[in-house]
A and B are shown apart, each in its own frame.
Chain A
Amino acid sequence: MTLADVPVIPQLDLELRHIRKRYGDFVAVNDVSLQVGKGQFICLLGPSGCGKTTTLRCVAGLEEPDAGDILIGGREVTGEPPWKRDIAMMFQDFALFPHMTVAKQVGFGLEMLKKPKAQIAARVAEVLKAFEIGHLAERRPAQLSGGQKQRVALARAMVTEPRILLLDEPIGALDYSLRETVMLELKTLQKRSGISFIWVTHDQNEAFSLGDHVVVMNHARIEQQGRPDEVLSRPRTAFVAGFIQGNNVLEGKAGLVRDGVLEVMTALGTFRVPLLDLAPPAAGSALSFSVRAERLIERPGEDVPNRIALRCITVEYFGAFRRHVLEGAGGTVVKYDQFGALPQSIREGENIVLGWSLDNGVLHRAPPA
């Protein structure tokens, strides 16, 4: 595809077209394409080493992709250095300048834009106040707590109101009690400022609760992207289904298709899974599908088409839900989550039949041959 084929959509804050980045023989980012609309909150999610940071650094201009195009606000910036891009970045360990006071630090970006001194002072004071760090203005980074450093780093990045803010695990360095509060604040801040956030994380709770759009990466590629509820309810690959907590991933072979419903033969038995928008796979080809653990039904009635005979191994109570780990034929493990603080209905060691209604089975795209 050449540039001329693709219409430039000016309302996009960021567009990545088939980005590819190699380190020697190792491909760190492979064919990553992404469109970020105005003022969107994007979460890049994936296991360690899947290429999230590298993708972010390509957007920032800190790495140059080997192939592909990067457009910021509709303008091609692929070969441009970081200081010419309309972005700001928040680094994982904050990267505060140790020799500058908080005020100097936060004013740095404005100084670089050659704003008049008085204006910088006024704006810095305003931003420090908004971030509730006005009293720290004369301190140096060594005299700040982790949470305070985080605020300073954020204020420093946002003071110039860039089009896009890139955040590499911005709350990973904070302790748990602080994370929730900071997450809420950042989400509110993002909405109010209209700046697009690209937030890298390996924590799925973070990604699904914050993002308008979640991008799941694995092995340098994007596995799936979409609205959080879309990704949660319809994982498109076995990896995504397995990566997201609470999914049962079952592998099997394709059978016949009847009325848009595919028969899948697995070690646990034969199940009926809707095809939806997927093309019918060749009979006998390997595939997988998933069922969410809380969508299973205990002791299903005759009208439920998919049923499994299982033996309960352990029951764990998590407060919000009770998780049952069960084992079926061939040692296949199935999880069943029961929400709503109901009394325990399955004992450990008990044999039980679980089922799920037709539309709760999610068929995955065929794995690449």
Chain B
Amino acid sequence: MSTIRLRSPAAFWLALPAGLWMALAVVLPVLLIVWVSLWGGTSVSPNNPITFDNYQRFLSNQNYLWLIGDTLVQTAMIMAITGVLGYCIAYFLTVKVASPGWRVALFLAFVIPFWTSTLIRAIAFVPFLGVNGLLNQALMAIGLIERPIQAFLYSRLGISMAQVSLYTLLASGPVVYMLNSIPPALREAAMTLKAPPIIVFWRIILPLTLPGIVIGQVLVFLNVLADFITVTTVGGNKLAFLGNLILLFYEGSQIRATAVVSVLLMLLMLAGVTLALRVVDIRKIGG
């Protein structure tokens, strides 16, 4: 079998279509947004002067700074919860469920709901969390509460519950993959070297699944930051994060502010991914 060497003509031509597509569909629009965010003046015209005024105006508004902070806090919280929950689910599925048949069944039960679109899943939370929703009825039925809790829907709590359930799979998928790639003999070798199960987990399993955890966290980070659908459907109009702000400005035809927030959001994402890459080298995974 012949191989394709890096920098050979074949490699160049093979990479060209994907490269073109990336340039047209990703790089160009991003450059456009960056450009618009730097427009001075008030008109929509390519002849606008370039300035940082829009950023200055946005970042000098205390409310907006709060919103950025709030978005980051929410994201961090969802990352922490989905991280722990996702890891537990992954560990349970791959390590504790011994029968392969059950493992596949449980895994599918866990994954299939995620085949529907994010919007539909987000909307599905409305009847679940509402005042007469499933959750309230269930809690009342078992006698934990007497009156329905209003705070589930159109609240931070509701948004968080929805986001946790929406994004746990993202946190746990990469961990399942990493756990599956650990040979059972490693665990056994550690045990014969006098390591009890907790130490085996701490010293062998956790470090070896770390890349999976980080990738999962990056996925959750990106998705929560970009998530405006859950926030509007489950949160009503009472709450907004950065993603909603983009929509808000856009609907208000404030094209410069829209671009500014978009660029800031992208910078945040970029910073997060860069940080993650410092922790693990994605290229080494699977090798």
Seen from chain A, the residues whose Cβ lies within 8 Å of a Cβ on chain B are: 60-62, 81-83, 85, 87-89, 91, 93, 95-99, 108-109, 112-113, 156-157, 160, 166
Binds A, one of B43-51, B79-87, B190-198: B190-198
Q: Which residues of B contact A (CB under 8 A)?
A: 183, 185-186, 188-196, 199, 203-204, 207-208
B193 adjacent to A109 (CB under 8 Å): yes
Q: Are A62 and B191 in contact (CB under 8 A)?
A: yes
Given contacts A91-B185, A95-B183, A97-B186, contact A108 B192 (CB under 8 A): no
Cα–Cα, bound, A127→B203 (Å):
22
Complex: A345 Cα to B199 Cα, angstroms: 68
| Contact flag A60-B192 (CB < 8 Å), given A95-B183, A95-B185, A95-B186 | yes
CB pairs A–B below 8 angstroms (28 shown): A60-B188, A61-B191, A61-B192, A81-B196, A82-B188, A83-B192, A83-B195, A83-B196, A87-B192, A88-B192, A88-B193, A89-B188, A89-B189, A91-B185, A95-B186, A95-B188, A96-B189, A97-B186, A97-B189, A98-B208, A108-B190, A108-B195, A109-B193, A112-B194, A113-B194, A157-B193, A160-B194, A166-B192
In the complex, which residues of chain A have a beta carbon less than 8 angstroms from the beta carbon of B183? 93, 95
User: With A and B bound together, what is the CA distance between A324 and B196 in angstroms?
Assistant: 57
Q: Which residue of A lies closest to B195 (CB)?
A: A112
Inter-chain contact A109/B188, CB cutoff 8 Å = no
Cα distance, A160 to B204, chains bound together (Å): 19
Chain A residues with Cβ under 8 A from B188's Cβ? 60, 62, 82, 89, 91, 95
Contacts of B189 in A (CB 8 A): 89, 91, 95-97
Q: Which residue of A lies closest to B207 (CB)?
A: A99
Bound: A97/B194 CA distance, A:
15
Query: In the complex, A160→B193 CA distance in Å?
Result: 9
Q: Give the chain B neighbours of A109 by CB distance below 8 A.
A: 193-194
| In the complex, chain B residues whose CB is within 8 Å of the CB of A95 | 183, 185-186, 188-189
Extra pairs beyond A108-B190, A157-B193 (14, CB < 8 Å):
A62-B192, A82-B191, A82-B192, A83-B191, A83-B192, A83-B194, A89-B189, A89-B192, A95-B186, A96-B189, A99-B208, A108-B195, A109-B193, A112-B194
**Which residues on B sit within 8 Å (CB–CB) of A98?**
208
Residues B191 and A108 in contact, CB atoms below 8 Å apart: no
A residues near B192, Cβ cutoff 8 Å: 60-62, 82-83, 85, 87-89, 157, 166
CA distance in complex: A109, B194 (Å): 7
Q: Which chain A residues border B193 with CB–CB below 8 Å?
A: 83, 88, 108-109, 112, 156-157, 160
CA distance A340 to B136 in the complex (A): 93
B residues near A83, Cβ cutoff 8 Å: 191-196
**Distance in Å: Cβ of B152 to nearest Cβ of chain A:** 43
A97–B191 Cα gap in the complex (Å)? 12
Q: How far is the CA of A13 from the CA of B196 in the complex (A)?
A: 23
The 10 closest A-B CB pairs, nearest first, are A95-B185, A112-B194, A95-B189, A82-B191, A89-B192, A109-B193, A83-B194, A99-B207, A91-B185, A82-B192
CB distance from B183 to the nearest CB of A (A): 7
CB atoms of A81 and B194 under 8 A apart: no
Least CB separation from B191: chain A residue: A82
Q: Could you say which residues of chain B place their CB within 8 Å of the CB of A96?
A: 189
Chain A residue contacts of B191, Cβ below 8 A:
61-62, 81-83
Q: Which residues of B contact A89 (CB under 8 A)?
A: 188-189, 192
Chain A nearest CB: distance from B186 CB in Å? 5
State the Cβ distance, A369 to closest chain B Cβ, in Å: 39
Do B199 and A112 have beta carbons less than 8 Å apart?
yes
What residues of chain A lie closer than 8 Å to B207, measured between beta carbons? Answer: 99
CB-defined contacts of B203 to chain A, threshold 8 Å:
108
B185 touches A97 (CB 8 A): no
Closest approach, in angstroms, between the C-beta of B282 and any C-beta of chain A?
A: 16
Distance of A160 Cα from B194 Cα, bound (Å): 10
* Structural contact, A97 and B204, CB atoms closer than 8 A: yes
Q: How far is A97 from B187 in the complex, measured between Cα atoms in Å? A: 9
Determine the residue in chain B with the shortest Cβ distance to A88.
B192
A157 surroundings in chain B (CB, below 8 A): 192-193
- Cβ–Cβ < 8 Å partners of A88 in chain B: 192-193
- Counting chain A CB atoms within 10 Å of each CB, the highest count among B191, B193, B196, B207 belongs to B193
